[in-house]
Amino acid sequence: MRHLMNPLDFTVEELDRLFDLAGDIAADPAKYAHACAGKKLATCFYEPSTRTRLSFEAAMLNLGGSVLGFSDAASSSASKGESVSDTIRIISCYADICAMRHPKEGAPMVAASRSGIPVINAGDGGHQHPTQTLTDLMTIRALKGRLGGFTIGLCGDLKFGRTVHSLIAALIRYPGIRFVFISPPELKVPDYITDQLKELGIGYEEVIRLEDSIADLDLLYMTRVQRERFFNEEDYVRLKDFYILNNEKMALAKEDMLVLHPLPRVNEISVEVDDDPRAVYFKQAQYGVYVRMALILTLLEITV
């Protein structure tokens, strides 16, 4: 029995198979409509996350399975002090697979070690959110036709952004990737990541302004720059416009550059960009459902 705790749990070859399956699901959803008939997914969400939870539920429903679960800790037995280990032992009696989100880092791993069913980490604090990374990779592969051989710009909060760190770790396994890190100096990518890139001989540069580098990019991964991350209001006001993507900056980009965003977006991408065919962040949500469907089938060892 396998679990998914970290996006690197799967080898590149295993991910290829997963993405092939997700691609097949996207091409012919009807073929998979009853693949999980009689199976149940438990969504154990100890903190609210509408998007991720609904994406998992949609994935299971699309496969003909059913879902049960809770959407915040207050409505679970955790509010009575039950441990994650005990909860998963009980859930294992009710469901066939579990997606767990928890504010404490490592909680899904503790659950997996005691579980009788596959556990998917649906986000644990600031630690890992592997299905977001799988969604990002799937979107890139589906729309670019490959994972590798491109320059990707990561823009915004690169210091605290969990999705950014996981995506970098996943992408460095593919050949020919070059990174451009676009962030204010306060929110630069952590040293341990740049040290690793240097060790592996992977090219990267760090810039402050998006418009200075957008013309070089094949992919642009946007994230939110939060006001509270800045040391003072003056710096925030001075820098924030550098990280807002609008049509003016899009005009500088390549015709086939893709814009991704893990969502929710606040104001870092102007609404005017939504109609640009290069803006694929809403398609990303759709690919997220396909990749979760493929993941559920893979972990349940169901073939169609």
Partner 1 sequence: MLNVGKIEEGFVLDHIEAGKSLSIYHHLQLDKLDCTVAIIKNARSNKMGKKDILKVECDIDTLDLDVLAFIDHNITVNVIKDGEIVDKKVLTLPKEIRNIIKCKNPRCITSIEQELPHIFVLADEQKEIYRCKYCEEKASESTYAW
Active-site positions read 51-52, 80, 101, 129
In the complex with partner 1, which residue's Cβ is closer, 83 or 226? 83
Type of residue numbered 248? E
- Which region, judged by CB under 8 A, interacts with partner 1, from 53-61, 103-111, 223-231, 265-273? 103-111
- The tokens for 256 are 């086939």
SS3 229: helix
- Residues that bind partner 1 (rule: CB under 8 A) add up to a total of 15
Does residue 120 belong to the site contacting partner 1 (CB under 8 A)?
no
Phi, psi (degrees; rounded to nearest 5) at 102: -145, 140
Residues in the chain: 304
Shortest CA distance to 302 belongs to which of 65, 69, 132?
65
CA of 22: how far to CAs of 92, 181, 215, 292, 299, in Å?
A: 26, 29, 31, 8, 13
SS3 214: helix
Closest CB 128 distance from partner 1, rounded Å = 8
x/- mask, partner 1, residues 78-97, rule CB under 8 A, reads: -----xxx------------
One of 23, 29, 64, 106 touching partner 1 (CB under 8 A)? 106
Task: Give CA–CA dist 126/128, Å, rounded.
Answer: 6
Does residue 154 belong to the site contacting partner 1 (CB under 8 A)?
no
Does residue 51 belong to the site contacting partner 1 (CB under 8 A)?
no
In the complex with partner 1, which residue's Cβ is closer, 127 or 261? 127
SS3 83: coil
Closest CB 154 distance from partner 1, rounded Å = 21
Does residue 107 belong to the site contacting partner 1 (CB under 8 A)?
yes
Does residue 238 belong to the site contacting partner 1 (CB under 8 A)?
no
* CB proximity list for 273: less than 8 A, separation 6 or greater: 245, 246, 247, 250, 259, 279
Does residue 101 belong to the site contacting partner 1 (CB under 8 A)?
no
Task: Give CA–CA dist 17/59, Å, rounded.
Answer: 18
Does residue 29 belong to the site contacting partner 1 (CB under 8 A)?
no
Q: Which residues bind partner 1 (CB under 8 A)?
A: 83-85, 102-107, 109-110, 124-127
